[in-house]
Structure formats: C-alpha cells, structure tokens
Amino acid sequence: MPSFFTAAHLKLSLLLSILGALVALIFTILSDSGVVALIARPLVSALLMFVLGSALYALLAKKVPEAIEVIEHAPDEGGALPMEGEMPEGETGGSELAVEGSEYNEDSGSSMNDYDSGASSSASSNIPRKTGVQIGKEEITVNGVRFKNQPEVMAETIKQLLDQDKD
C-alpha cells in the first residue's frame, strides 16, 4: 500500500480536485442553476476528484513507480528552465575534452569561441553549438572540415580515443 499524503499524492489529488471544481462551476453557471447548486456541485465534484486522484496515485505507485518519482521531482514553474542560449549552472554545454590546436582556455574552463543560439544548426535543434559547426543530415561541418554523420562510427572513434588517453 503506497503512503498517502506525500507531496506527489497531494499535487496529483489537489490538481484533479481543482480541475473538477472548475468544470462543475462552469457547467453550473452555464445551466443557470440556483445559488445552492452553485456552491454544492463544485464542492462535491472537488471531493470526488480528490478521491479519484488518490485512487490514481495508488494505482500509479503500485504499477508505475517512476511516474510518482517524476511528480515528486518535477521542477518548479518559476524559471527552472534555462532561456535559449543560457546554460544551467554546473553545465558546460559541450565536451570537456580539449582538442589540439583549439582555442581552449584552461584557466577559465571555457572556450574562446562563443556559443551561438543554434542559428547555424538545423531549425528543430535548440542545442547551443560553437560557431563554425553546421549539422546536416548526411554530414557535419566543423570549421570547414566535413565528417560523415554516422553516430556508430563516431562513438567507436571516441571510445578508441578515450582508450588511447588511458594509456
């Protein structure tokens, strides 16, 4: 039996009860009912939806506990997501590997090249990229050097380079 009245349970049940009360209030107003119905229907609907939310929480906790973890650890709505072009604290946005001949400044821990807002990459990607990087379906161009866009080959090459670095 899952533990009730946790943060996830209250979030889910209260959300459903508020939605139920709003729907009942709207339909009560539209049906031109009396004052008693205007108060009673939303309260009863909110109570029923809270019970339904509790049953849904119990079912999710029993069958899909990952969903409860997502509800518990959901980010706050107030500015939790970074704006386009910004990086969250502690993230560098790219690989930590320094390439020979690149303009990597070890003192500041960042690259001298600025990140663009993804205008040079495909329109569907919001991932910040260094200037001079263009990604197409068939190839990736980095500072004029073309590479075939084959993830399996790239992954194998990176594994080999990491193995060489260990030696």
Task: Write out pLDDT tens, residues 51-86.
Answer: 999 999 999 989 988 888 888 877 655 544 545 555
Assess contact for 78 and 89: CB atoms under 8 A.
Answer: no
**What was the pLDDT predicted at 129?**
60
Global pTM exceeds 0.75: no
Take residue 91 and report the two structure tokens written for it: 């993230």
Q: Helices 35-63 and 65-72 sit at what angle, rounded to 10 degrees?
A: 120
Which of 22-26, 29-33, 134-138 is least confident?
Answer: 134-138
Mean pLDDT of 80-94: 49
- Residue 119's pLDDT band (cuts 50, 70, 90): very low
**What was the pLDDT predicted at 152?**
83
CA-closest candidate to residue 117, choices 128, 106, 125: 128
Assess contact for 118 and 129: CB atoms under 8 A.
Answer: yes
CA distance 62 to 57: 8
CA distance 53 to 10: 9
- Residue 117's pLDDT band (cuts 50, 70, 90): very low
**What was the pLDDT predicted at 108?**
44
CA distance 18 to 105: 53
How many other C-beta atoms lie within 10 A of the C-beta of residue 127?
Answer: 11
